[in-house]
């Protein structure tokens, strides 16, 4: 893929899938601003390892912090709204406070980051929102707050596509091979994957490469479902 863009911002960029985005974009020659909140130790390690990386601590739920974070960032070519949390437990045990905290990070955080990034984006800037297959057809009572939040991310994608001439695309992957998923009950995981016809876990590095190479051909406002990535990449 020919790299035409030079500046990227990745939320949740120092852990999990976000870390994979950060490292891959660095390998392509991007200058990356990785936004993190709690991954302090990993942010320190990563920033000392890569010259072209700046890690910025920011609670994306707080508008003042998001505003100040983007104050000194200009000409953003690609924004990846990846930061998200989940609090998986039985629906009868969830409190309204827990439910709201997931929405604040996953929906309000995505909204605030996009709001303040848009005026700082280059003319052909691209926004990639990381949604989830859970928002489409993988309904699970223990993740009702997460599922609802990712459905909200899908709507934000469509709405921002209307109000800006920048391309805004959401990717809704299935189950990804992260440490959290690998360590969960495997019988439960098998059943959930069968529900949506996913044959095996998605490798996070492959997912990142697929998204970055695929986004150029997508229409703004599109929600791209990704389940059997190994078939997509043939």
Task: Return d(Cα 223, Cα 218) in angstroms, integer.
Answer: 9
Task: Return d(Cα 205, Cα 117) in angstroms, integer.
Answer: 25
Reported confidence tier of residue 138, pLDDT bands at 50, 70, 90: low
Q: Where are the domains of the chain?
A: 7-232
Residue 43 pLDDT more than 90? yes
The long-range contacts involving 154-158, CB below 8 angstroms and separated by at least 24 positions, are 154/129, 154/223, 156/107, 156/110, 156/111, 156/114, 156/129, 157/129, 157/131, 157/221, 157/222, 157/223, 158/221, 158/223
| Range from 37-41, 60-64, 200-204 that averages highest in pLDDT | 60-64
- pLDDT at residue 185, rounded to an integer: 84
Q: How big is the CA angle at 88 (ends 222 and 10), to the nearest 5 degrees?
A: 45
50 — alpha (psi -120 to 50), left (phi > 0) or beta?
beta
* Mean local confidence (pLDDT), 51-71: 97
Task: Return d(Cα 105, Cα 68) in angstroms, integer.
Answer: 18
- pLDDT at residue 3, rounded to an integer: 47
- Which DSSP category does 227 fall into? S
Token pair of 196 as six digits: 């949506």
- pLDDT at residue 113, rounded to an integer: 98
Protein fold of 7-232: Rossmann fold (3.40.50)
- pLDDT at residue 1, rounded to an integer: 45
pLDDT tens per residue across span 188-230: 888 888 888 888 999 999 999 999 999 999 999 999 999 777 5
* Mean local confidence (pLDDT), 150-172: 97
- pLDDT at residue 15, rounded to an integer: 93
Q: Which residue has the higher pLDDT, 139 or 175?
A: 175
Helix axes 109-117, 63-71, angle to 10 degrees: 30
């Amino acid at each position: 893929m020919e790299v035409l863009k030079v500046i990227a911002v990745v939320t949740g960029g120092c852990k999990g899938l976000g870390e994979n985005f950060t490292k891959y974009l660095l390998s392509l020659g991007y200058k990356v601003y990785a936004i993190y909140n709690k991954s302090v130790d990993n942010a320190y390690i990563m920033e000392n390892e890569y010259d072209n990386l700046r890690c910025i601590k920011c609670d994306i739920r707080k508008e003042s912090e998001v505003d100040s974070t983007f104050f000194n960032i200009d000409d953003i070519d690609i924004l990846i709204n990846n930061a998200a949390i989940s609090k998986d437990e039985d629906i009868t045990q969830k409190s309204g406070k827990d439910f709201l905290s997931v929405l604040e990070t996953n929906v309000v955080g995505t909204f605030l980051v996009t709001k303040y990034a848009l005026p700082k984006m280059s003319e052909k800037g691209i926004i990639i929102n990381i949604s989830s297959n859970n928002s489409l057809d993988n309904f699970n009572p223990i993740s009702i707050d997460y599922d609802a939040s990712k459905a909200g991310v899908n709507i934000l994608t469509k709405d921002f596509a209307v109000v800006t001439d920048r391309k805004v695309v959401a990717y809704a992957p299935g189950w990804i091979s992260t440490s959290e998923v690998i360590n969960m009950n495997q019988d439960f995981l098998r059943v959930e994957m069968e529900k949506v016809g996913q044959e095996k876990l998605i490798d996070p590095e492959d997912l990142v490469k697929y998204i970055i190479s695929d986004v150029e051909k997508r229409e703004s406002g599109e929600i791209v479902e990704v389940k059997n990535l190994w078939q997509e990449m043939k």
